[in-house]
Chains A and B, each alone.
Chain A
Amino acid sequence: MRRVQRAVALALAVGLAGCSGWQSALDPHGTDAARLAGLMWFVMATCAAVWVLVVLTLAPALWRRRAPRPDPLALDAPRERRMRAVIAGAVGATVVVISVFTLTSFVTTRGLGVTGSDEPTIRVRGRQWWWEVEYLDRDPARAFKTANEIHVPVGRPVRLRLEGDDVIHSFWVPSLAGKQDMIPGRTNELVIRAERPGLYRGQCAEFCGIQHAHMAFLVVAEDEVAYARWLEIQRSDAAPPSGPEQEAGRAAFLSRQCAACHTVRGTPAAGTTGPDLTHVGSRRTIGAGLLDTTRGAMAAWIADPQTLKPGNNMPLVPLDADALRDISAYLVGLE
């Protein structure tokens, strides 16, 4: 018996552990996510109460034995009246509950995404299978592109302009806000506001092709000082190579096909098909959340992207061991 209890407790603990963490709508850290979670719990609690009431009403009805009646078709007027009152009451209660749900849902969704006018604006484009992130600015020279990692200031609303580049994707950071589709040829808006600093994981929530499952990104919520510092670093051009290995890597990067698809600001590499690599070493992951940014992971990715993420749009480029080592050193050094 105790063993069974322990197993049940363990199963519950494991199940509930899934409700918290860096990607969970049940563990909200953003204003909108908290409102949505509140709405969800309200609906859930009400429905649970209704279910319990219905079952409690059904139980005696199943248990009770009917008294034998001489004529089953005969009308019993007072009994009919009683039943009519009960049914009318139940229908009325249902109407009230559904109306309250509708109203609460309307009020909650209307209150989502309310902003001022001068919040930071970020354009996020879903591409197969990564996220192009562009920080817009009134002064175009201060706008810049990055990929798969969005930094936001804590406690301030941030406006996201969501676009699809090839097929329909969906932007979803469960801990901060609800889902919003990214549709080619259309701009959808979403406002997120992180209430606590932290690392929140987001994912594509609309099946978009073979690597849909490996299309993740991170939202980094940090205080104003750290955010401003990060912006300054990202705006700057790529750091010059710090050693002979990086120097050779830069030369190989520019002479091979890499520059046809990737941009490294401050060098002639200006391709736009792949992610901007100007500060790729400062990002936490590569391949849209596939691997942590380490030199080994970077080398493995370049050596054979089609085995690590089959179907993605980066071809295998034949490189000898020296070129692979130099390029991976150069890229990881781009902080």
Chain B
Amino acid sequence: MRRRAVSTGFAALVLVLAAGGCQREERQTRLDPPIAAALDGVALMPDRISGAPPAVYVALGKPYERNAFNLAEGKRLYGWFGCAACHGEGEGGKGPAFLDGWWAYGPSMVSIVSSIRDGRPHGMPPFRDKMTTEQIWQLAGYVQTIGAYSAKTAAPGRSDAKQRRPAENRAPAALLFDPGPTPLHPDQGPEP
């Protein structure tokens, strides 16, 4: 009798643990207007490079850097808003490259958000009127992955089209600048 109770309990535990795996990552399709307004308040340093993110962003748990849904949305926005026309798939073109990891305004979210929202000298247009605040943050989170030195745990979905650069969670910049010892089979990588 006791044995049966133990095995029943064990089965229930396994079920509960398995059901825990069903929980999906949170996706929010639209922000509450007050949160969106608060997210808009990025404080830049006087030289307009880096600065402090709004308090609400930290309180939310930095969703635009850590949430795969937001990163995937950012990837879609990158295509929709024609970023590739100047920046290519990160290799640059008319605009600066992202893949090399040498960014004129640094890799912090605040800088990237500000670059997209307000534009930058020498040709980067402002997208303030064309995108919502959360779209700007989603796009910034994705752009940050392109030249990142260390990989994020979350990654956007794979492209349907042929991907011409390393996957977003492979920390391409670190590989570019620190290739490490020459591999035994150079044709098999690690090449960015």
A317 to B80, CA, bound (A): 11
Q: A304-B30, A307-B30, A310-B29 are in contact. Are A316 and B130 (CB under 8 A)?
A: no
What is the minimal beta-carbon distance from A174 to any residue of chain B, in angstroms? 28
What is the minimal beta-carbon distance from B102 to any residue of chain A, in angstroms? 30
Interface check A306, CB cutoff 8 A: yes
Interface size class of B (residues with CB under 8 A): 10 to 19
Count of A interface residues, CB-CB < 8 Å: 13
Interface check A315, CB cutoff 8 A: yes
Q: Check B130 against A257 for contact (C-beta < 8 Å).
A: yes
Main SS of chain B's interface residues?
loop
Q: Check A166 against B160 for contact (C-beta < 8 Å).
A: yes
From B134, which residue of chain A is reached at the shortest CB distance?
A316
Q: Check B76 against A316 for contact (C-beta < 8 Å).
A: no
Q: Check A306 against B160 for contact (C-beta < 8 Å).
A: no
Interface check A318, CB cutoff 8 A: yes
Q: Check A306 against B80 for contact (C-beta < 8 Å).
A: no
Contact with A along B177-189 (1 / 0, CB 8 A): 0000000000000
Interface residues of B in 57-84 (CB under 8 A from A): 76-77, 80-82
From B81, which residue of chain A is reached at the shortest CB distance?
A315
From A318, which residue of chain B is reached at the shortest CB distance?
B132
A272 to B82, CA, bound (A): 14
Interface residues of A in 221-275 (CB under 8 A from B): 257, 260
From A310, which residue of chain B is reached at the shortest CB distance?
B29
From A316, which residue of chain B is reached at the shortest CB distance?
B132
Interface residues of B in 108-139 (CB under 8 A from A): 129-132, 135
| 19 residue pairs from A and B, CB less than 8 Å apart | A166-B160, A257-B130, A260-B82, A304-B30, A306-B30, A307-B29, A307-B30, A310-B29, A313-B76, A313-B80, A315-B76, A315-B80, A315-B131, A315-B135, A316-B30, A316-B132, A318-B129, A318-B130, A318-B132
B residues adjacent to A (C-beta < 8 A): 29-30, 76-77, 80-82, 129-132, 135, 160
A residues adjacent to B (C-beta < 8 A): 166-167, 257, 260, 304, 306-307, 310, 313, 315-318
